[in-house]
Homo-oligomer: A and B are copies of this chain.
């Protein structure tokens, strides 16, 4: 198979450690909160919230606003309903401050030499840009569900990357730590690379990182992906 020209990266879990970062932020606000459970609860609301947009129940809504809806819903459960508007806004921005996995910046920097590297996340453009600036992620371009007005796994997102760069779908590779995202991209004709992130959900909930032979590449991390792709 020909090398792709563009690598599009899933972000939450693949490039950055949402679990560890959210747990870190909530531990600062209140050390008595179960930080692991809080991070998992916030993230658990993510797919159902996007589903409300996909189904048409909600009009187009940015992830920042979906994160806030979910946050308001879970705060009472963790004894945090006393947080005021300013504190909630600030906490909601924790998703702009997620830490990169240790291999991320080095891996992306190597891959960028040979390929165009962009985000393809359901996160909104502002969130992704703020995150990149803080974590030093060297994107050539920030693409998002917000550009295509559709959330992954909608085909408009995967095909949208190819159209943006005037390429065939097979000239684009999705890089992600989630087999369902990769399967949807493959159904659109993209190449795919799976990245193991066994601790995406924390040490208490190790993830199955078995290879799927349908992927073009399977890599432990982004440094190994750079090895596999000759960078």
B147 & A140 in contact (Cβ 8 Å cutoff): no
| Contact count band on A | 20 to 34
The contact string, 1 if C-beta is below 8 Å from chain B, for chain A 125-147, is: 11011101100000011110011
A132 vs chain B, min Cβ distance (A): 7
A132 & B140 in contact (Cβ 8 Å cutoff): yes
Q: Please report whether the interface of chain A is mostly helix, strand, loop or mixed according to DSSP.
A: helix
Neighbouring B residues of A166 by C-beta, 8 Å: 64, 126
Q: Which A residues from 121 to 176 make CB contacts under 8 A with B?
A: 124-126, 128-130, 132-133, 140-143, 146-147, 164-166
Neighbouring B residues of A124 by C-beta, 8 Å: 164
Q: Given the known A-B contacts A64-B166, A147-B147, A166-B64, are A141 and B116 also in contact in the complex, defined by CB atoms under 8 Å? A: no
Q: Kindly identify which residue among B126, B132, B140, B146 contacts A129, using a CB–CB cutoff of 8 Å.
A: B140
Q: Does A118 sit at the interface, judged by CB under 8 A? A: yes
